[in-house]
Every structure is written in structure tokens, then in C-alpha cells.
Amino acid sequence: MPTSLVIRFADRVSQTQTTHERLKALADHFGVSQNKAAHMAINRLYDETATDRAIEAEFLKHGRKVGGVTYLHAPEDFLLRVEDRIRRGIPLPHEDDDALEHNLLFKLLPPDVQACVISATDPMDKRRLIDQHLRESKERRSSSRAD
């Protein structure tokens, strides 16, 4: 059995600019009753906040915080690598080191640089090699334009 909904408005305009006249104007614009307009607004608000709360609850219940990032359903070996990187002070702890050799930037590097990066065992050394190559390439391009 449906129950009735009573909405009371203050005499003054609220912080969200809600007045009885505003509700009436919206209801008229959409061709529905004021009650229907209020129900639609409440249902939409519920749908938006319920989804956010469900995601938040999932992170609170199953998420694992490592450093300043909460991971949801991340593989244990990945989380161990992240924890190790944080202990060693390696930047970007939320990124997986395996991605260094499998992204588009790596594929665009010359084969000799790729081989050097692959042979390096430390993630920071890999990053330094890539960065060094990019800096040298930029300097070569700048000097060739200057000539």
C-alpha cells in the first residue's frame, strides 16, 4: 500500500534554491504532478548515491591499502611488489614494474635501448635508461634544428 509523501518548504529560499514555486515550475515543465517530480528527484538521488556507496563499501570490505592507494582485487604478487617499492623509496608505487617493457613508449625505443632496459634488473635502472634515451634524443633534435 503506497504511503503519501509530504514535502515542506521553508519560507526562505534554501541553499539549493529550492522553493515550492521551483518544484511547481519543474513539474509543469516536465508535464508531471509535483508529487511525481519529487519522487523522481528522490529516486534519482538514491540511484546515484546507492551506486557510490556500494563501490565504497566494496573497497572498505575487500580493498587493501598499500601506501596511499587502496587496491581492489589486486593480485598478491603485485601488492608485494608495491610494498617493496614503497620500502625502497621508488616513485609511483601504484604502477606495476612489468608495464615498463610492455607499453607503447617501450615499443618505440630503438632495439639497442630496449635490450639495455630488458637486461637491467632494477626498476629504477630501467626508468633511468629510458629517461636518458629520451633526453639524449631531445637534445639531438634540438641541436639539429639549431644547425
Per-residue pLDDT tens listing for the chain (147 residues) = 566 667 777 667 667 667 778 888 888 998 998 888 888 888 888 888 888 888 888 888 888 888 778 888 888 888 888 888 888 777 665 666 777 888 888 899 999 999 999 999 888 788 889 989 999 998 888 888 776
Segment (H or E) for 127: helix 123-146
Q: Where are the domains of the chain?
A: 1-62, 63-95, 96-147
Cα–Cα distances (Å) from 7 to 23, 37, 103, in that order, read: 10, 12, 56
